[in-house]
Structure 1
Amino acid sequence: MKQGRRAVLGMALLGGVGHVLGGAPKPVVAGPPEARTALDAELTAIAQAPECQLSSMSVLAIRDGKIAYEFQTGQRVIGTGGAPSKAANERTLYRMASISKMMTTLGLMRLVEDGKLALDADAGGYLGYPLRNPHFPDHPVTLRHLLSHTSTLRDDLGYSFPAAKPLKALLVPGGELYGNGAMWAPTAAPGRYFTYSNLNWGVIGTIMERVSGERFDRLMKRLLLEPMGLHGGYNPSEFPAGDLANLSTLYRKRTVDTEIWNAAGPWIAQVDDYSQRPPARPAGIDTYVIGTNATPFSPTGGMRMSARDMGKVMLMLMNGGKHEGRQILRADTLATMFAPQWAFDGSNGDTDKGLFNYWGLGNQHFPDKPGMQLVEGGGFAGVGHLGEAYGLMSVFAADLAGKNGMVVLVGGVSSDPEVYKGKYSAMPRFEEQILSALHRHVIAGKKT
C-alpha cells in the first residue's frame, strides 16, 4: 500500500506521553535541554492541527547509530460507550501497513542465505506451477521482479483471498479466480516496467511457505521476530495477552470501507478493534494447506510492531545485520537487498503521482532531490518504506551509512490525506512536518 483530520479532541485525547519508561535508553535531543520540550510540543501541535488530526502517533529517531528520541501522543484505543480510552506508549504495536513488505523481505533474504531461494530463478519453480504473464509467455517471473514491483502483476482482481482458495486459481489461465486475466499487465515484459502491486507479496509469502514448509506468520516469527526479541507479528490471534492489550486500533473519521470522509464526525474504528472480543483465527486456517495461499496473513501489510522494535530493526540494518552481537543477516545480503533495482526514467513505470521513484528489493529509496525529499530543505537521503492502510500512515526511513533514521506510526487521520497535500513531496503535509521536525531537532541538531 502506498502512503496512504478535524473536530478538536483536546489534551485528554492527544496529550503528550513522550517520556520513555523503565530501563530503556534515555532519549536525547541535540542542543540544549529545552530542545526536547520544544520537539514534544511541536509534534503534539501537528497531531492536533485542525486541518488533519491524528488519533495517535508514535515516533522514534536514531542519530549516530543510537536511539536518540522517542515520543508518543494520543490514544491507541478511543473509548466508546463508557469504556475508557487507552493512551499510546512506547510499546504500542501498530499494523504498519506496507512497511510489512520490507519486513517480509528480511525474512525472505534469510531463506536466500540458507540456499532455499534464488532471486533470479523462475518463481514458478518454487510455486509448483507456471508463473507467466500470458502476454509475455517466454519471460519468466523471478523473485527479483516480484520484490521490485516489475513482475507485471497487478491488483486489479484483488490481492487477499480466503485460505481455501489457492493462488494458483488466480494466477493460471482457467483457474476459478482467473477471470479475464486482469492481474497480468500487457504494458511490458517482466523486469521492464514498475507498477506498485500488493499481489506480489502474496505470491512471495506463498513461495516462502512452499520452500520452508512453515505457515507464513510462524515462519516470520522464527526468521525475524524471535531472533531479535521483537513483539508482534502477522497474526494477532496468536499474540500473547500483553501484546494484544497494547495493540493500537486504527481509525478514520469516515465510515468503514468507504471514501466518504467526515472530519467533524467521530473516530470510527477500522481494524484491530478488539475492545469487545479477541481476534478470531483466520477463516479456514484449520484446514489450510501450507504453501497454497499466504494472503490471509497479509505479507503485504499485516505486520504489527511498535516504533521501538522497528528501531531495533533499523539499528540491525545499520550495523551490518547484527543485533546484540547476533548476525541476523549477512552484510552482503543487505547490500543486495538495498541495492538499486529500478529508477524512474520518465516512461518505465507508474510513480503514483510522484510517490515512487527509486526501488530496491522490498524497499523504497528516498533520494535528496527536489520533489522527492523527506525533510524540508533537504539534507536526508535513505532507504526504507512508506505505509498507508485503514487510517494508518507510516514511515521507515534510514540512512544506513550515516546511521541516522526516523520511524513514524500514525494510528488514524481525521481527513483525507489526499486533500492535505504536502508542500515539497508526494506525502501528506503532516508527514512532511513530522519528519522535518525529527530531522531538524534530532538528526541535524539545529536549534529552532
Structure 2
Amino acid sequence: MTMNRARRLLLGMGLLGATGPLLAAPPRRLDRELAAIAADPACELASLSVLAIRAGQVSYAYQCGRRFIGHDGLPDKNVGPDTLFRIASISKMMTTLGLMRLLEDGKVSLDADVSGYLGFTLRNPHFPGQSITLRHLLTHTSSLRDDAGYSWGADVALKDVIDARMFAANAGPGAYFTYCNLGWGVIGTVMERVTGERFDRLMRRLLIEPLGLQAGYLPSELPPKALANLATLYRKRTVDTEVWDATGPWIAQVDDYSVKPPAVLDRYVIGTNATPFSPTGGLRISARDMGIVMRMLMGQGMQLLKPATLSLMFSRQWTYDGRNGDTSDGLFHCWGLGNEQFPDETGTRLVESGGFPAVGHLGDAYGLMSVFAFDPKRRNGMIVLVGGTSTDPFAPVNKGKYSSLARFQERILTALYRGAIVPKLVPNNSA
C-alpha cells in the first residue's frame, strides 16, 4: 500500500485545551518517523492515528493511511483527525467510567452480589457459596471465562446462556486473574438493570454527551457525520480461515458500510443482555476525542467524576505474584478497576527509554490494535489507534523487544514519547 499524504493536527482550542510551546524536535521529523513505521513491510499498517499529551495539554497529533480502501469503483478515504475507530478493549475502561458515575449516584456497590442487580443468580457452580461482585468483574477475578462465548444476539437473555462451562473449576471469585470479556457483558447488563436505560444510550448520557464526544457503541446510532468518518478495520488475512498473506489485498474485517448501512437494533429488552452493544470492545471514537477523555482523567477540562472516585478506579487492585493469575504471556501484571497498569519496570514498560509509568488500557480486535496510556502524576499520555496489519502482529518476527506488545507498537510509543513528550521546549518565536 502507498501511504497517503500524512496530516498532522496541532490542536489548540476547545475541550482539548491549548497546546504548549513548540517542541524542540520538529514535529515533521516525528511525522516521517511514524509514516516509516506504518509503511514497514515487516508489518504494514492499514491506518494510524495517534495523539500525545504533555503536562496535561495536547502536544502532537498525526494520522496516515486509509480509513476506507476503495474497491468496486469506490474511492479510497484517508484517515483524518475526526476518524472514528472501533477501539476494542479500551471500551472496557470507558464503560467503567460510566459505571463509576452510577457508583457515585448510589445505584451500585462494588462489593454487593451482582445477582441482586441482574434479577437472576450468578454463581460459579464449583463455588456456590461465594458471591460475584462488580469488583471481581472489573478486576477479571470473577472466575467467569470466555471459553463458551461472550456475545449473543438481542433475542438471547444472559440468564439463559450462562452455565457451568463459563466458570473456572479451579478458582473461585477473587482468587485468580483471567482476562474475561464476558464480565463486561454482565457489567453492561447490570448498568441497564439499575437505570432502566439501554446500554449504548446510557453511555451517551453518562459519558459521550457531557464531554461533547462524537462516539457511540452502536454504529447505527452514530450521528451521520460521525458514521461517515468511521474507519473500516482491515487485515491481510481472511476473515474465517485466518490465513495471512502479506502480499495480498487488505480484507475488511468490521465496520465496512460501503454497501449497506449498519444494522438497527430495535427489538431488545433492556436489562436482559447488553452484549450486542459490546461494552467489552464496541466503542467507536476518534483519537482526538479519546484525548478529551484522557485530559479529563488528568483533571483537565470538564470533570465527570470526583477526584476520590478516580483515585479509587485507578488504585491497584491486583498484582501478579507468580501464582495468582494468567498473565497472557506477560501482557498482564497489574490491574485497577477496569484498567490495566504499566509499572516502569522490565516487562511492563511502554517505552524503550523508560520513564513512563502509566495506567490505561490496550485493545486488540478485528485488526485494530490500540493503546490508551497516561502518567497521572506527570499528566503525560499517549493514544495509538492502528486500523489493521499486513502480517500477524503476534508472530515471532513481530514480537516486541522489551515488552509483550508487538514491535511496531513499541516503536510507535517510543517515537511518540521521545518526539512529543520528552524533548525540551523552546519558545514559539524561536522555532
Partner of residue 57, structure 1:
48
Structure 1 residue 161 corresponds to structure 2 residue 139: no
Residues 1:435 and 2:413 are matched in the alignment:
yes
What letter corresponds to residue 404 of structure 1 in structure 2? Answer: N
Mapped partners of 1:28, 1:96: distance in 2 = 27
The residue that corresponds to 1:106 in the other structure is 97
- The 5-angstrom pairing of residues 124-143 of structure 1 reads 124-143=115-134
Q: Residue 74 of structure 1 aligns with which residue?
A: 65
Letter in 2 for 1:436: T
Q: How much has 1:63 moved relative to structure 2?
A: 0.2
Q: Which moved more, 1:254-263 or 1:387-396?
A: 254-263
Mapping of residues 280-291 of structure 1, within 5 Å: 280-282=263-265, 285-286=266-267, 288-291=268-271
In the TM superposition, what whole-angstrom CA distance separates every residue of 1:195-218 from its partner, at most 9, and x where no partner exists?
Answer: 000000000000000000000000
Counterpart in 2 of 1:6?
none
The question of whether the paired residues in 2 share the 8 Å contact of 1:98 and 1:386 is answered with yes
Change (3 A) 1:29 1:296: farther
Tell me, in whole angstroms, the C-alpha distance in 2 between the residues paired with 1:31 and 1:303: 32
Change (3 A) 1:80 1:377: same
Give secondary structure in 1 for the equivalent of 2:188: helix
Per the alignment, residue 424 of structure 1 pairs with: 402
Match of 1:340 among 307, 316, 323: 316
- 2:202 corresponds to which residue? 219
Tell me which moved more, 75-84 or 308-317.
75-84
Match of 1:323 in 2: 301
Match of 1:245 in 2: 228
2:7 aligned with 1:17: yes
- Provide the residue aligned with 1:254 in structure 2: 237
1:295 corresponds to: 275
Number of the residue aligned with 1:4: none
1:361 counterpart residue number = 337
Could you tell me which residue of structure 1 aligns to residue 428 of structure 2? none
Give the structure-1-normalised TM-score.
Answer: 0.91
Q: CA deviation at 1:431?
A: 0.3
Per the alignment, residue 429 of structure 2 pairs with none
- Farther off after superposition, 21-30 or 138-147: 21-30
Note closer, same or farther for the CA distance 1:269–1:207 as it changes in structure 2 (3 Å cut). same
Q: Is the 8 A contact 1:133 1:152 kept in 2?
A: yes
| Aligned-partner SS, 1:220 | helix
- Structure 1: runs of 5 or more not aligned: 1-8, 172-177
Aligned-pair identity in percent equals: 61
1:88 and 1:27 map into 2 onto residues whose CA distance is 22
Aligned pair count?
Answer: 421
Q: Which amino acid in 2 is paired with 1:115?
A: G
Structure 2: segments with no counterpart, 5+ residues? 426-431
**CA distance in structure 2 between the aligned counterparts of 1:92 and 1:28, rounded to whole angstroms:** 24
CA distance in 2 between counterparts of 1:430 and 1:73 reads: 15
Q: What is the match of residue 94 of structure 1?
A: 85
Counterparts of 1:177-188 in structure 2, within 5 Å, are: 178=163, 181-188=164-171
Distance 1:343 1:29, change over 3 A: farther
Shift in alpha-carbon separation, 1:263–1:27, aligned structure 2, 3 A: farther
Per the TM alignment, residue 151 of structure 1 is displaced from its structure 2 partner at its CA by 0.1
Cα deviations across residues 80-106 of structure 1 (Å, max 9, x unaligned)? Answer: 122111110111000000000000000
Q: 1:431 and 1:249 mapped to 2: Cα distance?
A: 20
How far is the alpha carbon of 1:23 from its aligned partner? 5.7
Within the candidate set 135, 143, 147, 1:152 is matched to 143
TM (norm. structure 2) is 0.95
